[in-house]
Amino acid sequence: MPAGLATRLKAQALSEGFAIAGVARLPGGERLRMRTAALQRWLEQDHQAGMAWMHDPRRQDATALLPGARSVLAVGLNYYVSDQQKPGIPRIARYGWGRDYHRVIDQRLRRLGRWLDQQQPDCRWRACVDSAPLMDKSWAEEAGLGWIGKNGNLISTSHGSWLLLGHLLTDLELEPDEPAKPFCGSCSRCLPACPTNALNEPFVVDSRRCIAFHTIENRDPSLPLPLHDWIAGCDICQEVCPWNEQHARPSSDPEVQPRPWILSSTKSEMMTWSDADWSEKLRASALRRIKPWMWRRNLRHLG
């Protein structure tokens, strides 16, 4: 293996626009095994709600995604911007303000994979975004990007939790980074901040009580809980986190900049939009997962 390849790969990742990058070695250490056991308990307690894909057994074995995988590059895309939604308008989680992050991260990871091909022509790799059955936050923690906080989000000392994750699996044996140390300490501000009690214990998100789940994934015509002004996702447990208050860094990346309508459109305006209007507003957006009828359902549920 060429000396310093892991260091050069991480530098290449930063040049692609990722905010942070780290490397972990498969099969992972004790922390990764602990996270795998926690996922199994989470599933046994039905916290996944209607997300049946969380049961995919490949999620607990990264080599099932790339046989022979020995290392994983974990990257974080900073999606925080200084813009704010106008007061009183329906709230939309920041992850969906810009271009579909699945496309953005996947394209950049594939460029990294092709760069890796040039360094080691016989290597194999696979790009993974969160749509792949991979324990993405756990591997990011293993690669030193940050720790999984009490709100279930990965938190970085440099950027807080405003990071979208991606991974590049490879059969190369790359020099790993140290797993991240946890720094939540005695802080538990995120737990009581959740208005629907989805965080009824540290580190456990009950999707059945989560506004993000119900606004994005719930396909029922009615909703079982109040949305507290949110119609697409929810950022409350991130907004109250001290690490975000102190370390959020506005990104100048054009791919994460907000669409103007997200910052200013009112409920009454949105309720007049046709399916074609919604399709146009959500062109190349991760928010396309929310169908037009669901947007109207969510808006009506605001009261």
* pLDDT given for residue 1 in this prediction: 61
Closest CA to 218 of 229, 205, 207, 226: 207
E strand or H helix that includes residue 166 = strand 163-170
Q: Provide the residue range defining the domain that includes 60.
A: 1-303
Beta strand spans in 160-293 (E): 163-170, 230-232
Annotate 285-303 with DSSP letters as a single string. -GGGGS-HHHHHHHHHHT-
Cis peptide leading into residue 224 (ω within 30°): no
Q: Which structure tokens are listed for 6?
A: 């892991």
Q: What is the distance between the alpha carbons of residues 11 and 17, in angstroms, rounded to a whole number?
A: 10
Largest CA distance in the chain: 61
The tokens describing 184, both together, are 């939540």
pLDDT at position 257 is 98
pLDDT of 46 reads 94
Q: What is the pTM of this model?
A: 0.95
3-state secondary structure of 110: helix
Tokens of 203: 């580190």
Q: Is 46 helix (H, G, I), strand (E, B) or coil?
A: coil
CB 62 within 8 Å of CB 26: yes
Kindly state the DSSP code that residue 205 receives in the 8-state scheme. -
**Residue 130 bears catalytic tag:** yes
Amino acid 236: pLDDT: 98
Axis-axis angle for helices 5-15, 101-119 (nearest 10): 140
List of the chain residues with pLDDT < 50: none
Residue among 106, 130, 253, 277 flagged as catalytic: 130
Q: For the chain, what is the domain count? A: 1
Give CA–CA dist 6/147, Å, rounded. 21
